[in-house]
Amino acid sequence: MQQQPTPPPHGSREQSPSETHSKPSSTSIEAPNRDIPTPMTAIDDNAEDQRASQASPLSATAPAPIRYNPSHLAAPYPAHRFLPNTSSSLLRPGSRFKGSQTSDRQQYEVDVEIKHVDMRESFMCGYLRIQGLTDDHPSLTTYFEGEIIGNKYTFVTQHPEWGSNEKVDRQHWARFPAYKPLSKHSSRSEIVSKDWMQKEHLFMRWKEYFLVPDHRVKTISGASFEGFYYISFNQVSGGIEGIYFHAKSEKFQKLQLEHVDDHGLASREPANPLSPPTPNFPSTNLQISTTPMSKRKTDDMPGEPAKRQKREEYKKTLIENDAALPKKKFYRQRAHANPFSDHSLTYPTSPADMDWASLYPIYAVKDDEQSKPKLTSHDNDPEEKRTAIKALTKNVEIADIGCGFGGLIFALAPKFPDKLILGLEIRTSVTEYVQEKVRALRVQNAATGAYQNASCIRANTMKFLPNFFQKAQLDKIFLCFPDPHFKQRKHKARIVSYTLNSEYAYVLKPGAVVYTITDVQDLHEWMKGHFEKHPSFERVSKVFEEGEGDNGEGMDECVRLMRGETEEGKKVTRNNGMKYVACFRRLEDPAWP
Cβ-based neighbours of 150, under 8 Å, separated by 6 or more: 119, 122, 192, 193, 194, 196
Which position has the higher pLDDT, 236 or 74? 236
For residue range 11-33, list pLDDT tens digits in order: 545 444 444 444 444 444 444 44
pLDDT band (50, 70, 90) for residue 437: very high
- Percentage of the chain with pLDDT > 70? 67
What pLDDT shows up at residue 263?
59
pLDDT band (50, 70, 90) for residue 336: low
Q: Find the range with the poorest average confidence among 112-116, 125-129, 167-171.
A: 167-171
pLDDT at 191 over 70: no
Question: Which of helix, strand or coil describes residue 491?
Answer: helix
pLDDT band (50, 70, 90) for residue 192: low
Q: Where are the alpha helices (DSSP H) in 123-244?
A: 166-173
CA distance 487 to 501: 21
Over residues 365-391, the mean pLDDT reads 50
Over residues 388-415, the mean pLDDT reads 88
Closest CA to 230 of 211, 201, 199, 252: 252
End-to-end CA distance of the chain: 129
User: Was 425 annotated as part of a binding site?
Assistant: yes
User: Was 321 annotated as part of a binding site?
Assistant: no
CA distance 327 to 314: 9
What pLDDT shows up at residue 501?
94
Q: What share of the chain is helix, strand, coil (3-state, %, to 5)?
A: 25, 20, 50
User: Was 250 annotated as part of a binding site?
Assistant: no
What pLDDT shows up at residue 222?
62
Over residues 207-233, the mean pLDDT reads 80
399 forms beta bridges with 422, 477
Over residues 472-488, the mean pLDDT reads 92
User: Was 402 annotated as part of a binding site?
Assistant: yes
What is the CA angle 423-429-433, rounded to 5?
A: 60
Over residues 422-435, the mean pLDDT reads 91
What pLDDT shows up at residue 417?
92
Cα separations in angstroms, 133 against 206, 288, 296, 388: 19, 16, 6, 45
pLDDT at 281 over 50: no
CA distance 591 to 588: 9
User: Was 461 annotated as part of a binding site?
Assistant: yes
- Percentage of the chain with pLDDT > 90? 31
What pLDDT shows up at residue 494?
92
What pLDDT shows up at residue 474?
95
Over residues 580-586, the mean pLDDT reads 95
How many other CB atoms are there within 10 angstroms of residue 11's CB atom?
5
Q: Where are the alpha helices (DSSP H) in 144-271?
A: 166-173
For residue range 499-536, list pLDDT tens digits in order: 999 999 999 999 999 999 999 999 999 999 999 999 99
pLDDT at 439 over 60: yes
Q: Are 479 and 562 in contact (CB under 8 A)?
A: no
pLDDT at 392 over 70: yes
pLDDT at 581 over 70: yes
User: Was 109 annotated as part of a binding site?
Assistant: no
Which position has the higher pLDDT, 436 or 376? 436
User: Is 483 assigned a catalytic role?
Assistant: yes
Q: Hey, what amino acid is at 540? A: V
Closest CA to 580 of 496, 499, 511, 507: 496
What pLDDT shows up at residue 337?
72
Over residues 99-112, the mean pLDDT reads 85
What pLDDT shows up at residue 189?
55
Global pTM? 0.48
User: Was 538 annotated as part of a binding site?
Assistant: no
Cα separations in angstroms, 310 against 304, 305, 313, 317, 335: 10, 9, 5, 11, 21
**Average pLDDT of the residues of the chain:** 76
For residue range 49-81, list pLDDT tens digits in order: 444 444 444 444 445 555 555 444 444 544 444
pLDDT at 267 over 80: no
pLDDT band (50, 70, 90) for residue 252: confident
What pLDDT shows up at residue 98?
93
What pLDDT shows up at residue 451?
93
Pairing of strands 474-480, 508-518: parallel
CA distance 315 to 144: 46
Over residues 30-50, the mean pLDDT reads 44
pLDDT at 559 over 90: yes
Backbone angles phi, psi at 102, to 5 degrees: -105, 125
User: Was 567 annotated as part of a binding site?
Assistant: yes
User: Which of 368, 483, 519, 550 is the catalytic position?
Assistant: 483
User: Was 403 annotated as part of a binding site?
Assistant: no
